[in-house]
């Protein structure tokens, strides 16, 4: 698995599908370890993969996690965020903290909304006027109707296309 996945749509447009901070992802899985059987198995497998991919935990090999993260809040200038200084960026998130608490026993610290908004703030500090956090609260659902804020249904296709075309002007 490679982070982030980059998709070029036109010469000036870049769509980034990313889990911003690999460190956050590591600790999200680490914290979920005792929640439910599904969470335990998913977490153990992801932690095993991260240890292989990055040589250990973030505290053992912080540089490996920094290099793999699109945005790293502890790094100078947000780490790799500096490469997006002049690129239009729209980051979509369904930051449903109540769902995270009830279904994952998580907190704001385990949500990607923290790093997504941090990345946008960093890009704005760089002067990127085309950096936007798109709040999709309450829009993430699986095809069967089950509430799941991490699902891509949070993205409204018409709004996404309008945003994409406005970035290319």
Arithmetic mean of pLDDT, 82-102? 89
Q: At what angle do helices 22-31 and 37-54 cross, to 10 degrees?
A: 140
SS3 1: coil
pLDDT-derived band at 117 (thresholds 50, 70, 90) equals: very high
Tell me: the pLDDT tens digits for 118-145?
999 999 999 999 899 999 999 999 999 9
Distance CA 104, CA 106 (A): 5
Measured distance CA(117)–CA(73) in Å, rounded:
11
Q: pLDDT of 19-50, one tens digit each?
A: 456 565 655 555 554 666 766 777 778 888 88
Give 3-state DSSP helix, strand, coil % of the chain, rounded to 5. 50, 15, 35
- Strand-pairing partners, residue 30, are none
pTM of this structure: 0.77
């Amino acid at each position: 698995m490679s982070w982030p996945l980059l998709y070029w749509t036109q010469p000036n447009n870049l769509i980034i599908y990313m889990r911003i901070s690999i460190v956050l992802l590591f600790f999200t899985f680490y914290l979920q370890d005792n929640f439910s059987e599904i969470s335990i198995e998913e977490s153990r497998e992801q932690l095993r993969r991260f240890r292989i991919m990055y040589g250990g935990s973030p505290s053992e090999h912080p540089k490996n996690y920094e290099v793999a993260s699109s945005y790293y809040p502890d790094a100078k200038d947000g780490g790799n965020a500096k490469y997006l200084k002049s690129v239009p960026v729209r980051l979509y998130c369904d930051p449903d903290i109540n769902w995270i608490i009830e279904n994952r026993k998580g907190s704001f610290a385990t949500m990607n909304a923290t790093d997504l908004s941090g990345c946008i703030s960093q890009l704005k500090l760089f002067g990127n006027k085309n950096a936007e956090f798109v709040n999709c609260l309450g829009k993430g659902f699986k095809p069967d109707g089950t509430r799941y804020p991490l699902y891509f249904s949070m993205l409204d296709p018409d709004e996404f296309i309008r945003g994409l075309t406005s970035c290319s002007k």
